[in-house]
Amino acid sequence: MSVSGIFTQRVRGFRVVEVVALGLLAVTILGVYLAKTMAGSERARIAALESSIADEKARIRLLDAEVAYLERPRRVSRLAETYLGLKPVDAKREATVETLAVVAATPVSLPKPAAAPQPAASQAAAPQAVTQ
Amino acid sequence: MSLADLMPLRLPPAWRWAGEWMWRVEHAFERARAAGRPQDDARLRIFVVAVVFALVFLVLAIGAAHSALSGPTQRVDALATPGARGDLVDRNGALLAVDLKHWGLYVDPREVWDTAGTRAALTAALPDLPPKRIDKALAGEKRTYLAGGLTPEAKDRLFALGLPGLIFEPEERRVYPLGSTAAHLIGFSDTGGVGVAGAERALGDQLHKTAGGGQVPLAIDVRVQAVLEEELGKAVAEFQPIGAVGLVTNVRTGEILGLANWPDFDPNKPGAGGPGPQKNLAAASVYEMGSTFKAFTVAIGLDTGVATPQSTFDARQPFQLGYRTIHDYHAARKILSLVEVFQHSSNIGTAKLAESIGAQRLQKYFDGMGLTKRAKVDLVESASPLTPRKWDMDAVASTSFGHGMNVTPLALAGAYGAVLNGGRHVPLTIRKRAPGAKVDGPRVFSEATSAEMLKIMRANVADPIGSGGKADAPGLSVGGKTGTGEKYDPAIRGYSTTRQVSSFAAVFPTEGAIGDDRYFVLILLDEPKPSAATYGYATGGWVAAPAAGRVIDRIAGYLGVPRRFAPPAPTPASTLAAAPAEPLGGGL
């Protein structure tokens, strides 16, 4: 088909070139409409997610600051002394891995453990020990 | 010949190609007319125009679809607002300063229905706000800024009132969660996000670059800082000075691990206590340090070869040098070795050593240690020293034992670093250095001098005749030097015998290789008052050394310095198991 034929050939009274151009136009309009519609909803979702992330980040920063505030050394020290009676560790109570064997071999004055429970048979034989 | 041939040659190739293309199209039209088909001529022209339009539309459609689907390529971070700053954290990541979203409250009187009710509600909700300010805002005709820095809770409480005309705008506010802890080192910034003092000012550019969640790590360790502040606070409570400074530095890297001042302030409300407490005494105040300078004179004497540890100095009589007659505070009235001069803190011995060193060499070494210029540190508060106008024998005598020259505690720490780290003057820094970083600086002393000074300073603490015995900590081989500088009193045009600056400059561990990490601790009290427990003394050895020792004892674990005790005599396993006399480990 010659170049001029594109303009002269007709289908059901319409020039081919016009039908093709109209079709292209319709496809383009539909494509742009669909693209923008889908993109708009996606963009709104992305914006909502980003806003949510920003809010969460701000919340995390607020909580981090709150933790740092509550863990102020002066506060922790005061609470530890007031409620737990804790004090800085004395150097004499420090040990290294190398000295553990020596420490383990050292008798310590621990409180005496409670008397072991008596077997049932002996309990019967010595009821006083249980009732006292 | 073509149209392109007629076009100027200076046109770019693209324009020439377009011209030639136009010429060919036009030539096609001419040929169509010449062939007697003028209708083809018109159709061709329409076709070309239609094709051009179609191409343009196609490009536009593709571009529109692409931009619609891909969205913005660059995200704008919600936190990166003007004046926003990155977080400040300590060397272990503990939060020191952070930007938090707060709310600014505006009032638009045109939207307020119930003025009296709104006034009452605002007065009740914001009791710190002057009522006059609320009245003025409500009586105006335009939107007015009423209060800033509202926390989310405060904003929610106001918002829940449902009052029309109240408008809330988000704003970033700098918050210092640790309050007064390390306040002078961290500093503070104004409401516009501009650093005013401390690290906030010194690292302003870096903080702005990291805005939006980034972090800038400082060298300080909050645990070390807390111990330093607590022990300094105890010393302040006991000796009632007018000011106090505590410092902990790593002499190898120059990192400032702790910096405490008393009085202190809360950077969240920096103006609450007036301008006095805001002053960083460690960086911005200069003192005549007194005998802590003797470590420098002794180190210079050793480094120049003027003296050895065994050199002797006659301290039996006061010594005349320049215009001064020099006496000893603790007069030994005997011939002292160099080590004994240090241990007895003999002014006479030190001045005689300085005389042998000479003014020129003394000044050169002081320059090298950074004592004659403002301390090299990031903090802009770092003050210049007061130095002798003329380095004559009078100046030599005075400066050799810490008089006639005023320096900042930071400058003293920097100079001690050069004495104790192998001989290099490493600038102090508030920034965290990379682990294991090799830090260089100009050499001031030889390594041998530095090693000898560590031994002498250790002897001053470990030896019963030394002045620093109260600073010893078990197994940490603490070394140190006391300092008691009498303050100049303009009223009597001389040095006061009752007002003094008492300090203790300590180092630990003195054992180990010369290139190891080693820590300098300074406790300084300005005009301490003696107590019954100190038998009326307010000298460095009585008021500052114990605090320095307690600080060292408590921070060694945080800094990874192991306690090393002399190895016990070998004991047979049988006797060990039988009954050791002293339980090791304190009954762990």
Kindly indicate the confidence band of residue A129, based on its pLDDT and cuts at 50, 70 and 90.
very low
- Chain B neighbors of A61, CB-CB under 8 A: 98-100, 213
The pLDDT, as a whole number, for residue B113 is: 87
DSSP string, B336-360: EEHHHHHHTT-HHHHHHHHHHH-HH
Whether residue B291 lies in the annotated active site: yes
Compute the distance between CA of residue A35 and CA of residue A41 in angstroms, rounded to an integer. Answer: 10
Quick one: average pLDDT of A81-102? 81
Distance from CA of A15 to the nearest CA of B (A): 13
Of B47, B98, B475, the CB nearest to A7: B47
Q: Which of B43, B174, B478 is the best mutation test for A, with the most CBs of A within 10 A?
A: B43
Query: Within an 8 Å CB–CB cutoff, is residue B584 touching chain A?
Result: yes
* Residues, chain B: 588
**HEC readout, chain A:** CCHHHHHHCEECCEEHHHHHHHHHHHHHHHHHHHHHHHHHHHHHHHHHHHHHHHHHHHHHHHHHHHHHHHCCHHHHHHHHHHHHCCCCCCHHHCCCCCCHHHHHCCCCCCCCCCCCCCCHHHHHHCHHHHHC
Of B57, B68, B75, the CB nearest to A39: B68
Distance from CA of B176 to the nearest CA of A (A): 8
DSSP-assigned beta bridge partners for residue B407: B287
Helix (H, G, I), strand (E, B) or coil at B243: strand
Other C-beta atoms closer than 10 Å to the C-beta of B359 total 19
- Chain A neighbors of B99, CB-CB under 8 A: 61
The DSSP call for residue B150 is E
The pLDDT, as a whole number, for residue B268 is: 92
Query: Within an 8 Å CB–CB cutoff, is residue B177 touching chain A?
Result: yes
Look up residue B389 and give its two tokens.
């106008």
Question: Could you give the ipTM of this predicted complex?
Answer: 0.71
- b/e per residue, B176-193, with b = 16+ CB within 10 A? bbbbbbbbbbbbbbeeeb
Compute the distance between CA of residue B393 and CA of residue B328 in angstroms, rounded to an integer. Answer: 18
Distance from CA of A20 to the nearest CA of B (A): 12
Compute the distance between CA of residue B168 and CA of residue B159 in angstroms, rounded to an integer. Answer: 9
Q: How many CB pairs under 8 A join A and B?
A: 137
Compute the distance between CA of residue A92 and CA of residue B61 in angstroms, rounded to an integer. Answer: 81
Compute the distance between CA of residue B508 and CA of residue B473 in angstroms, rounded to an integer. Answer: 9
Q: In this structure, are residues B26 and B2 in contact, taking their beta carbons and an 8 Å threshold?
A: no
With 0-12 / 13-18 / 19 or more C-beta atoms within 10 angstroms meaning exposed / middle / buried, residue B433 is: middle
Does A119 have pLDDT greater than 60? no
Weakly modelled stretches of chain B, pLDDT under 70: 1-9, 38-39, 68-81, 322, 330-332, 566-588
Compute the distance between CA of residue B146 and CA of residue B133 in angstroms, rounded to an integer. Answer: 7
* Residues, chain A: 132
Other C-beta atoms closer than 10 Å to the C-beta of B139 total 11
The pLDDT, as a whole number, for residue B19 is: 83
With 0-12 / 13-18 / 19 or more C-beta atoms within 10 angstroms meaning exposed / middle / buried, residue B286 is: middle
A6-33 pLDDT tens trace = 777 887 778 888 888 899 999 989 998 9
Contacts of B497 (CB under 8 A, 6+ apart): B486
* Annotated catalytic residue within B291, B450, B477, B502: B291
The pLDDT, as a whole number, for residue B536 is: 83
Distance from CA of A107 to the nearest CA of B (A): 7
Of B54, B98, B586, the CB nearest to A65: B98
Helix (H, G, I), strand (E, B) or coil at B448: helix
Q: Given an 8 Å threshold on Cβ–Cβ distance, is A31 in contact with B586?
A: no
Q: Which of A2, A24, A28 is the best mutation test for B, with the most CBs of B within 10 A?
A: A28
Q: In this structure, are residues A72 and B179 in contact, taking their beta carbons and an 8 Å threshold?
A: yes
The pLDDT, as a whole number, for residue B84 is: 86
Q: Which of B73, B100, B558 is the best mutation test for A, with the most CBs of A within 10 A?
A: B100
Distance from CA of A126 to the nearest CA of B (A): 36
pTM above 0.90, yes or no: no
Of B79, B178, B475, the CB nearest to A72: B178
Q: Given an 8 Å threshold on Cβ–Cβ distance, is A57 in contact with B79?
A: yes
- Using alpha carbons only, give the angle B284, B526, B466 rounded to the nearest 5 degrees: 115
- Chain A neighbors of B64, CB-CB under 8 A: 32, 35-36
Q: Given an 8 Å threshold on Cβ–Cβ distance, is B584 in contact with A99?
A: yes
B314-331 pLDDT tens trace = 888 888 876 778 887 766
DSSP string, B453-522: HHHHHHHHHHSTTSTTGGG--TTS--EEEEEEEEEEETTTTEEEEEEEEEEEEEEE--SS-TTS--EEEE
